Structure 1
Amino acid sequence: MRPFKRLKQRRKARAFKLLLTPVFERFKSDKQLESRGYRPLQMTFDDQLKALIFYHLEEFSSGSELLQALEQNDFAKECVAPPKGIKKSAFFEAINNRGLEQLSEVFGHLVKQAGKVLPAEYAHLGNLVSIDGSLIDAVLSMEWADYRSGSKKAKAHVGFDINRGIPRKIYLSDGKEGERPFVDKIIDKGETGVMDRGYQSHDHFDKWQAAEKFFVCRIRENTIKIVIRENAVNPDSIIFYDRIVMLGTKGVNQTEKELRLVGYRVDGKDYWIATNRYDLTAEQVAEVYKLRWNIETFFGWWKRHLKVYHLIARSKYGLMVQLLGGLITYLLLAIYCREQHNEPVSITRVRELRNQIANEAAEELEQKRMRTQQKSHKNKLLKKKRRHAKT
């Protein structure tokens, strides 16, 4: 990434520049965005990235609202928009056709940066990655986003680093796409995928074990269980079941490899958790599954406060650009809140940042107005002095 140019030396850009520092001052990309024709780009990748971050940071609900701000908002015109502005057609053409490779690279860089800055809260439980899919309401013109008759939805498949509270991988599909195949893409060897009942698959359980990937997955209560051996259970614990089993019906869908099954009860509700984590206590297995909820909290916060699912793109390419822009914004906020306040991301700190950006912009405008007045007054005095000199 090239360093800030217009933002440099600008007092009103202090907060915004500080937010973007992990990208613009700590990262250099080898993938340059180039024009596909003979005319130069109206919007460089840096401009595109800043626009996407500004869109999510300010909670805009449409691309038109963002474009209006880039044209009329003094801060956005000076520090976000391209130097010569951007036309509506050029903006949407860029979002739907350019920048995906570069955004993916920035996202990967920020995941690593956040890993260095954010503490591993549950390190004693291993590298935990919660996996879930989130449906995105689409419009009927988005033919690629099949869901059901008369309804269009896309689905984001996200891997969430539970230890650091950040998204680390994302894939996009139509709404009907199954979720289990994405586990192999999201989980690396030695990591533990934490999943809900929708990911239960005895065939996949065997494949993950063969690939030396761990899992903690809730299963349906009526799943057939063939007990191989039992583990001791503390009668005073929430755990009522801890056994090594084979799951499913022999000759139909039974697992080929044995695994561990933990049952626990909370508020009168039973949970059945299949896992190949034999190093954890049964209580820790229950704790790990409970932490799966963190990805749901993330999805809710991401949608509510960054307006990620307010579409500014209709193509699959463009929607992925928008989603990566939202993830990048979240990661930048996570790094900013930790480095500046030693806190996790919160809407309180985000609002504080927005206000700081607005206040700095207003301060700069006032200083600019005063400089203009002083210059005008100085010119008047100079003209008056010249007239007197002539007489």
Structure 2
Amino acid sequence: MNIGKTLFAQVMEFVPWKTFGRIIERHQGDAGVRTLGCADVFRVLAFAQLTWRESLRDIEACLAANQTKLFHMGIKAVPARSTLADALTQRDWRIYHALAQRLIARARALYAQEPSDLGLDATVYALDSTTIDLCLSLFDWAPFRSTKAAIKLHTLLDLRGAIPAFIHISDGKLHDVNVLDVLPVEAGAFYVMDRGYVDFARLYALHQAGAFFITRAKKGMDARRVYSAATDRSTGVICDQSIRFNGFYASRDYPEHLRRIRFKDPESGRTLIFLTNNTSLPALTIAALYKSRWQVELFFKWIKQHLRIKRFLGTSENAVKTQIWCAIATYVLIAIIKQELHLDASLYTCLQILSVSVFEKTQLSCALQPDRTQPELVSIANQLNLFEI
């Protein structure tokens, strides 16, 4: 790369601008726009994510302090706060959703060859949601409770590379299980979820689509044992059974046999009951797959700490979704850079380095791969010892 470019400009080179341009044309995003088009909005919001700007005033002040470098960053001029606020309200958030999906597809292809901890060839997804609290008087379009608003990020995380394969943004009232109705199903893949997603009609739809699910049983589940497989209780597997539901509605919604595994966690001492439609994997592998679901919780914690998605630059639904999708696109973009440049540094380290050096003109691979070699101390033979008698 040309080391005369700023780090921010080099990062933006990984964005598929031709594809992004076609997306903008498809949605007519720049129709009637005189200043700050859709591409410029993404650059500004990506800059805000990388440098941890949390308000319109922060963005304007930071860009104004570096006006001589903006042209080389792809930003034509310092956007006024009112101009950026209007753009967040008027530019269709679906444009940035489509860009994020394009980057996600590219990132998943790069991380597809990453080795799995469990040695499975199939794709393993973890499904869960996280809630972002909002002020009800400002965000009245996202009702949650009587006194506050909220939005939910329903996320399907590909455990190879921690790349979100699917994200659905809803208001806080939408129950998690409803996301199964819009979830893209991949035949042969594993979907790991907690018991909040237990709905036997929807789980049976996953089964019929050729996918595997792993979840936990709710208390009071009415089912009878059909067959028991031999188990070694010293491993923590208490029983491995094939079951059938007794209740009218449950047996109607899931008319086939289901596998039930009772497992005692040796670390916590808790007894967990897993339900799955996979009958070939060992019971310990099923338990390990459910344990890997914790990675989606770590993903939520990470993005809330390191992405600007808890304080929003606008109050409209379009502004909030635009900011979230630009944040996700930025996260995936750094993941792509890390993989394509074969960097050993973590995503956290890459973001921390970029947050203080986006205006630096150095090679991106060198900047994101800090030199950890210690300078060798040269011993001078004739150096006098002050404490020598």
Report the Cα offset of residue 222 of structure 1.
3.7
Q: Assess if the C-alpha contact under 8 Å between 1:216 and 1:273 holds in 2.
A: yes
Superimposed CA distance per residue, residues 211-267 of structure 1 (whole angstroms, 9 cap, x where no aligned partner) = 3232111222442331111122123212112111124x5124343222111221112
Q: Secondary structure at the match of 2:248?
A: coil
The alignment's TM-score, normalised by the length of structure 2, stands at: 0.82
Report the Cα offset of residue 148 of structure 1.
0.9
Distance 1:10-1:360 versus aligned 2 partners, 3 A rule: closer
Bigger shift: residues 198-207 or 78-87: 78-87
Q: How does 1:309-388 map to 2 (within 5 A)?
A: 309-343=310-344, 345-360=346-361
Superimposed CA distance per residue, residues 181-206 of structure 1 (whole angstroms, 9 cap, x where no aligned partner) = 21242341312211012111122222
Report the Cα offset of residue 177 of structure 1.
0.5
The one-letter amino acid of 2:264's match is R
Equivalent residue for 1:144, pick from 141, 144, 157: 141
Q: Assess if the C-alpha contact under 8 Å between 1:51 and 1:81 holds in 2.
A: no
Bigger shift: residues 181-190 or 293-302: 181-190
Report the Cα offset of residue 166 of structure 1.
0.7
Cα distance in structure 2, aligned partners of 1:106 and 1:289: 31
The one-letter amino acid of 1:278's match is T
Q: Secondary structure at the match of 1:177?
A: coil
The one-letter amino acid of 1:49's match is F
Distance 1:18-1:358 versus aligned 2 partners, 3 A rule: closer
Cα distance in structure 1, aligned partners of 2:263 and 2:328: 34
Cα distance in structure 2, aligned partners of 1:36 and 1:28: 15
Report the Cα offset of residue 343 of structure 1.
3.6
Cα distance in structure 2, aligned partners of 1:27 and 1:17: 18
The one-letter amino acid of 2:328's match is L
The one-letter amino acid of 1:114's match is A
Q: How does 1:1-391 map to 2 (within 5 A)?
A: 11-13=4-6, 15-24=7-16, 27=19, 29-31=21-23, 32=25, 33-37=28-32, 40-74=33-67, 77-79=70-72, 82-118=75-111, 119-122=113-116, 124=120, 126-140=122-136, 141-190=138-187, 191-247=189-245, 249-254=246-251, 255-266=254-265, 267-343=268-344, 345-360=346-361
Q: Assess if the C-alpha contact under 8 Å between 2:67 and 2:77 holds in 1.
A: no
Cα distance in structure 2, aligned partners of 1:130 and 1:309: 23
Report the Cα offset of residue 79 of structure 1.
4.7
Cα distance in structure 2, aligned partners of 1:10 and 1:83: 21
- How many residue pairs get aligned? The number is 350
Superimposed CA distance per residue, residues 262-287 of structure 1 (whole angstroms, 9 cap, x where no aligned partner) = 22111211121111122211111111
Of Structure 1 and Structure 2, the greater helix share is in 1
Cα distance in structure 2, aligned partners of 1:26 and 1:117: 20
Distance 1:213-1:29 versus aligned 2 partners, 3 A rule: farther
- Tell which structure's C-alpha radius of gyration is larger: 1
Q: Secondary structure at the match of 1:283?
A: helix
Percent identity among equivalent residues?
22
Report the Cα offset of residue 313 of structure 1.
2.5
Cα distance in structure 2, aligned partners of 1:146 and 1:81: 38
Bigger shift: residues 89-98 or 350-359: 350-359
Superimposed CA distance per residue, residues 111-134 of structure 1 (whole angstroms, 9 cap, x where no aligned partner) = 121122223332615211111111
Q: Secondary structure at the match of 1:220?
A: coil
Report the Cα offset of residue 344 of structure 1.
6.8
Q: Structure 1 residue runs of 4+, over 6 Å off?
A: none
Gaps of 5+ in 1: 1-7, 362-391
Report the Cα offset of residue 176 of structure 1.
0.8
Q: Assess if the C-alpha contact under 8 Å between 1:334 and 1:345 holds in 2.
A: no
Distance 1:269-1:34 versus aligned 2 partners, 3 A rule: closer
Report the Cα offset of residue 161 of structure 1.
0.7
Q: Assess if the C-alpha contact under 8 Å between 2:180 and 2:202 holds in 1.
A: no
Cα distance in structure 1, aligned partners of 2:321 and 2:86: 14
Report the Cα offset of residue 89 of structure 1.
2.0
Cα distance in structure 1, aligned partners of 2:86 and 2:322: 12
Aligned Cα root-mean-square deviation (Å): 2.4
Superimposed CA distance per residue, residues 63-86 of structure 1 (whole angstroms, 9 cap, x where no aligned partner) = 332232232344774455742332
Q: Secondary structure at the match of 2:185?
A: coil
Q: Secondary structure at the match of 1:147?
A: coil
The one-letter amino acid of 1:120's match is E
Q: Assess if the C-alpha contact under 8 Å between 1:95 and 1:313 holds in 2.
A: yes
Cα distance in structure 1, aligned partners of 2:158 and 2:145: 31
Cα distance in structure 2, aligned partners of 1:286 and 1:331: 29
Q: Assess if the C-alpha contact under 8 Å between 1:138 and 1:152 holds in 2.
A: yes
Q: Secondary structure at the match of 1:11?
A: coil
Gaps of 5+ in 2: 363-389
The one-letter amino acid of 1:336's match is I
Q: Secondary structure at the match of 1:205?
A: helix
